[in-house]
Amino acid sequence: MPDTWLINIELSPAIPTVKDGGNHTPAFTEAARTLVAHKACLQVSMALAGVGIRILTDEEFLKKVRIV
C-alpha cells in the first residue's frame, strides 16, 4: 500500500421526516431522535467500518476502489 493515499467514501442514512423537515430544522431534530434514525445511523456506521477494514486488508479491492 502506498505511503500516501486518499479515499473518500460518503454514506448518509435516510432519516424519515415530515415534508419540509430537511436538515437543520426542528422537524429533522425530532426525526433524528427516533429509533428508526438510530438504526439507520448504526447501519451506515457499520458499512463504513466494513469498507475501511476491507480497504486496509484487501489490496486488490483497494486497487479497484482507486480506479473508480
On the 0-12 / 13-18 / 19+ scale of CB atoms within 10 A, 41 is: middle
Question: Where are the domains positioned within the chain?
Answer: 26-67
Residues of the chain above pLDDT 90, percent: 35
Residue 62 — pLDDT band, cuts 50, 70, 90?
confident
Q: Please tell me the distance from the alpha carbon of residue 65 to that of residue 24, in angstroms, as a whole number.
A: 32
Residue with more model confidence, 6 or 59: 59
Is the pTM above the cut of 0.75?
Answer: no
**pLDDT at residue 33 is higher than 90:** yes
